[in-house]
Structure 1
């Protein structure tokens, strides 16, 4: 269904504008409303409204979900996304060209011969030939190396030769230093995400889904919109664990995941607009899970879902993050879980911690 689109923001870059226009074209060609688009891709209606109106650039995961949900030119769409998200490459300096341009010209045989000719002493008298008389006083004899022309020519030739030798040595040293330089290593304090999940079922309870590797196959099973805020029920079939996520919120907004046994974890936004909670054990098929969101405008909850593994097995739910990543400068960090506070209680005490993007 065609839409009466708003004008895109004037400050939007040209690649981002072309991407937003292509997304609009794909949506209209598929005849989908925002709600239908959100249902097919499992990303909220509010997020698609921002992406289609150029308020934010669509995330790569949401783009892949769209490609899998509608008929479109996937290669062209991915190319537009890369152009809109990759920064322009900086100017690359060609050191060799700069050295050749700045350095002196290489001496040739002709220039060397000319310099040597100028450096030779004046012609001497040949025996047997008479020298015509002259009224001028004879010029005093001057050694050839003290004559100005010879001195300048010799200095120029020496400078050319030294410059050429120095240029070759500097190139050789530069190549040797580059070859001998050790390969870069990761910082000692870095914590890479494990290639395989580090826990499963009850072993994942109250642990971070990102640092354990459980976020790699995470899927969104339930969402609930509260004003502009969206809360998510997230699940990893590999780790058999579930957790809550919250996006589009503000500091002190939070979401709580609670299971039918009374266990819970909290995703509190400390700064930025999103966060996620620690995990709960979701191995038991009879255990139900619900996520509730809380903000000054009110609160609401998702439906309760049990046997999460069967839900994933019977539903084509795409793998991906719960939301677009936070703004520039945000760094991933472990979410601060609550002390098992049930959703009906007040939000947990705010602690200084960055708000990572939800896994």
Structure 2
């Protein structure tokens, strides 16, 4: 929310003024009250009131908390903060220097009461002694005090040098702190980001089987059903049978849907190898896989039910069929009424393998 801001203090340095104005702009743009800003950054409402009104320069930790809590230009904001803190450090150093007494050749700069008393005496005082009856000093005695007068000034110079050394040491410490903080930030940025355990984020791996390694295995449990495509379908009464293929696993299998228990489908390749998908319960099932890596070997699926049987066309080089035809990935079951729209003329030949009666039924959802 927009705020009716107080005027910033006139003695505020230009970098600190720009920083405070930017903080006000960010707060208003975020639509936050002081209480909401305090809640988001975990710094008190009173602290933000001081920082926003230029009474103090915001701390680096509070600045980072603000950057993490609202949408702002973090780079520009950090640059303003560095300029404001550098100017504050320079002002502190200058203040320490000007707090020392000025070192001049004037007698008033004497460092001890005795020296001050000596310096404040008029230069003609020795001549006044002669008037009071005291013997007048000789030329050598008069010249002696004249040479000794600068002594207080020379005595003060080491003090000035020590003060300058203290200021210089303070600046070196400030610069060292900034360099150390910068190095720490750079080290933190260069440090490797901890990675999650391999169990939480497993690296992509090859399929558990391929080609002959998938033969007579379950396409669902091996993961081969993830990219399965239906290459052929055939309708037998209400039953639909499918020739399914996985390009990743280079394997093919049969599927049957819309059937009843004891209906089944058989996939057979041109070498005579086969697998059967029998419905033991429910209305669908699928078979184990056959090796489909050899492009010269053909595959077809035949379906059997009491009303009769029929087969899909024989298909060879299944990988090329997938590559040349936009066949969608999806489940074997067709949408209602789809029938055998994708089927090609059937092969009247029937498979030679009878459905096994003791084969356990895979999961009813065909992969």
What TM-score comes out, normalization by structure 1 length? 0.40
Larger Rg: 2
The structure whose RCO (Cα within 8 Å, separation 6+) is larger is 1
TM-score (norm 2): 0.39
